[in-house]
Amino acid sequence: MSSRTLQRTVSVSGMLAWRSLILVRRMPSVFIPSLVMPLFILVATSGAFHGISALPIGTGSYLAFTLPFATVMGGGFAGINAGMTLARDIEGGFVDRLISSPAPRLSLVAGPFTAAAMRSIFTTTVVLIAGTIGGIAPPGLTGTLAIYLLAAFFAMSTACWSMGVALRARTVQAAPLMQLVVFVLVFTSVAYAPRALQTGWLRHVADWNPVTHILEASRAAEFETLSWTLLWPAIVSIVILLGVLGAFALHGLSRLGKD
């Protein structure tokens, strides 16, 4: 890719990312659920499972234990929104017009990919504010930055998945499939309890689930105990998710207009 093509790709991707963000104002029904659900998870989960805080979970507050779960899930919803937006653009003919223009095709996924990370920043901020209102002392600067980055990278990973589905199904009716895989990944990790308290098949699944390492690193950042021992598995998990799901999205992009 030449430098001129790269510049054009970055420029168009930035405009498409901005377009995705301003759709929040024009179509709030698309974004509001992705904001409400993490808050619902934060409140409902901490209320229903607060008794678990009596067990050794690293903190005496289950609300604090749930907060990283809510921020990561918020990132997941931001990624799902990227796929839903792309599916709507395909159905509405916007993608066809963009393909017929000189705009680089890569920008079709790079724009929503960037927007997903930016949306996750807003969602994470709202969750952290809600946690502070609930009495959770905010972590230090390093811990807060780690929480933001982990949620943003998970948003980009799930954006690749949902866009890959959108590029194949080419209809917003595929949204349940986008959501299902993200929910399964999150809920079979350490979302509700640490691995030390899990038994049976769930423990084995959680051991191999990449979201487990992302959540464990985010929780360590929340409790200000993040170390390289917990950080490097999270980094490897993010690289694997972005690599596999990114290839899935790019393959779907390469087939667009050929089928």
Quick one: pLDDT at residue 179? Answer: 93
**Spans of the chain, pLDDT less than 50:** none
Phi/psi for 198 (5° steps) reads: -90, 150
With contact defined as beta carbons under 8 Å apart, do 136 and 67 qualify?
A: yes
Residue holding tokens 């990449």? 210
Collapsed DSSP state (helix, strand, coil) of residue 48: helix
Q: Quote the pLDDT of residue 152.
A: 97
Domain assignment of residue 244, given as a range:
3-255
> How far is it, in rounded angstroms, from Cα 150 to Cα 212?
12
The whole-number pLDDT of residue 25 equals 66
Residue closest to 149 by CA, chosen among 83, 245, 248, 231? 231
In what helix (H) or strand (E) does residue 6 lie, and over which residues does it extend?
helix 3-26
What pLDDT is stored for residue 143 in this prediction?
Answer: 93
DSSP structure string for 191-243: SSS-GGG--HHHHHHHHH-HHHHHHHHHHHHHTT---HHHHHHHHHHHHHHHH
pLDDT confidence of residue 70: 94
In the chain, the number of structural domains is 1
88, 20 Cβ separation under 8 angstroms = no
Query: Residues 148, 151, 152, 158: what is their CA dihedral angle, to the nearest 10 degrees?
Result: 180
Distance between CA atoms of 111 and 15, rounded to whole angstroms? 7
Instruction: State the amino acid at position 181 in one-letter form.
Output: V
pLDDT at 258: 64
Q: How do residues 129-164 score in pLDDT, each as one tens digit?
A: 999 998 888 888 999 999 999 999 999 999 999 999
Per-residue pLDDT, 28: 64
Query: Which pTM value belongs to this model?
Result: 0.92
